[in-house]
Structure 1
Amino acid sequence: MIVYQLCCGNDHEFEAWFRDSETYTEQAESGDILCPFCGITDVRKAIMAPNIATSKRSREAPDANRAQVQARAQAQAQARAHEVAENILEAVGKLREHVEANCEDVGENFAEEARRIHYGEVEERGIYGKASDNEAEELGDEGIDFYRLPIIRRDS
């Protein structure tokens, strides 16, 4: 394990632990390190003083801040998870919008219409609609390619 003193673009300094220096580099380059104070990913190593042996009393001070650092790290992780979830929902929403704008809604007849297209009974085209779990399994067994899109509530 290695500890680095880090600094964000807003000059907030904080300490972070990494498996090794390579792990720090990977996380910094991918934007996975967030400032626990402001949440930005513009983070770099700060100037660090070497670890010098001190009295027991001065070593106890970092332990007092450990809970605070852990709370900030947890808040940072939760903020990142929330951001990732929002990005996923946005991407799925855009995919659904694209499908709805460019494909035909066949509603409850999705499985039947997918078969007709697959077996060449009607002209090939993009479709979307609803299929039960059983219908979806049968389509897969027949070698008919399709994708299930998650249902996302629309804001009114």
Structure 2
Amino acid sequence: MIVFDLICRDGGHKFEGWFGSSGDYEDQQLAGLIDCPTCGSRSIEKAVMAPNVGMKANRRSVVSKPSVKEEDASGSAEDAQPVSKAVEIPTEYNELVGKLAEAQAKMLEESKWVGADFPEQARAIHYGEKDATPIHGTASTDDVVELEEEGVEIMPLPLPVKPPKSQN
């Protein structure tokens, strides 16, 4: 998972978005599936972020011995601790995202992946040309707008979905 800081261009609202990859963010952005949780605007862009690169698991944190200027008043540097600008994600948030992922997975168990054919398939179901069955796939921003204008009931998935053929 990758977390981006996002900003609403219309209201200036800042919020986080969790995505499977940078490509998933781009796909959802192009499909108009990202909206501001405060005002609902779909005019969203990535905010400027500082990189948060984790340390390799097989490496230990090393704190260099401070110079004389960095030592505390007692002259001891033994109490020095590693520091980071990384924000710790609350356990409750991780649990919430996990439950959301489980709910989405359960919902998609009965749904058929139709990929880029989603707009046509959704229309066919809406107009009774095909049996009503749950489907999921991808759609461009223009397709989403057209489907909504036609009254076709669709909804964005809360979390990114990998196409079945791209999964290991």
TM-score normalized with structure 2 length: 0.40
Which of the two has higher C-alpha Rg? 1
TM-score normalized with structure 1 length: 0.43
Higher helix content, 1 or 2: 1
